[in-house]
Amino acid sequence: MKFVDYYKILGISKTATEKEIKTAYRKLARKHHPDVNPDNKEAEKKFKEINEANEVLSDPENRKKYDKYGENWKHGEAYEKAQQQQRQSYRQSSQQEFSNEDYSDFFESMFGGRRSSYSQGRSPKFKGQDYNAELQLNLKDVYTSQQQILTVNGKKIRLTIPAGVENGQVIKIKGKGGVGISGGPKGDLFITFTINNHTKFKREGNNLYLNMDLDLYTSILGGEIKADTFNGKVKLKIKPETKNGSKVKLKGKGFPIYRKEGKFGDLIITYKIKIPTNLNEKEIKLFKELQKFQAE
């Protein structure tokens, strides 16, 4: 009687978790499903083997017996139970869609000829394939919510892109993937956003950062200037003796917070003192006088 390695059939280790078993089964079953491989006897045979392996390994009790006895399952108590179950399977064989030869001897003897849903004429349902798409946008494009029309696998999909989407962010659109198998649900569409920044602002999360030149005279004496924000200009008061590298935070002048309408991050401005160049004679004279005054 042939021993069948169910772990090998599913391509998993003996320490695989229930989740790993389920994932391996669904992946292989989708690949070898008769609906995907019409008139392919080899694929149909493989599909039955996969279902058989899943029937055993997905059931904690069956898996326990399989792990315990392995190729020596026919010895001892397990063998006696298997024989009883085999006799029961013969009485039920006339009601099965497939003959006992469709399944391995090991499965028939060890577990009494339990059939998968496929063998009973009910093909298992599988979720359709997930689709992946990439959408490139400019930073200005995601400052406000907007609508886009994507073409995925020949189908046009209209979607609203909320303001504040980040570079590398992935959004799932449920049910916009491939058609399910045997009446299963449709797959999903995963969109990865690539945000290109061609502005003078640096974005980190919801905050924006801007380096701003400040002339020497205003930095020393103070005054008022106009500063750029992402959606316009604002007036700022400069304190006397403002140092190079000083920062000012403008609350709520940063980037929109994703899916929080009306809420924004902050804008942090760093002042860069600009040293005057190409001085004329009068300017040089004034700086020299100031230098002498400072030295006294």
Tokens (6 digits) for 244: 């190079």
Provide the mean pLDDT of the chain: 83
**What per-residue confidence (pLDDT) applies to 206?**
95
- Tens of pLDDT along 35-77? 788 888 888 889 888 988 888 898 888 888 778 766 554 443 5
Provide the strand spans (E) within 98-140: 131-138
- Find tokens 């004034």 and name the residue: 286
Q: Which residue has the higher pLDDT, 267 or 98?
A: 267
Average pLDDT on 262-273 reads: 97
For residue 173, the cross-strand partners are 189
**Exposure string over 2-25, b if 16+ CB within 10 A, otherwise e:** eebebbebbebeeebeeeebeebb
Q: Is 256 in a helix, a strand, or coil? A: strand
Q: Is the pTM of this model over 0.85?
A: no
For residue 236, the cross-strand partners are 225
- Tens of pLDDT along 25-46? 989 988 888 878 888 888 888 9
- Tens of pLDDT along 188-197? 999 999 999 9
CA distance 124 to 182: 7
- Tens of pLDDT along 128-159? 888 888 899 999 999 999 998 888 878 888 88
Confidence of residue 177 (pLDDT cuts 50, 70, 90): confident
Long-range contacts of 121-124 (CB under 8 A, 24+ apart): 121/97, 123/33, 123/34, 123/35, 123/181, 123/182, 124/29, 124/51, 124/182
CA distances from 61 to 76, 101, 179 (A): 17, 24, 35
CA distance 105 to 127: 31
Q: Calculate the dihedral angle through the C-alpha atoms of 59, 65, 66, 68, rounding to the nearest 10 degrees.
A: 140
CB 169 within 8 A of CB 281: no
- Find tokens 């504040």 and name the residue: 164
Of 112-121, 235-244, 251-260, the range with the lowest mean pLDDT is 112-121
Q: For residue 102, give the DSSP letter.
A: G
Q: In one letter, which amino acid is 142? A: V
Percent of the chain exceeding pLDDT 70 equals 80
Task: Count other Cβ atoms within 10 Å, centred on residue 52.
Answer: 25
CA neighbor of 142 nearest in space, from 102, 198, 98: 198
**What per-residue confidence (pLDDT) applies to 133?**
87
Residues with Cβ within 8 Å of 278's Cβ and at least 6 positions away in sequence, in order, are: none
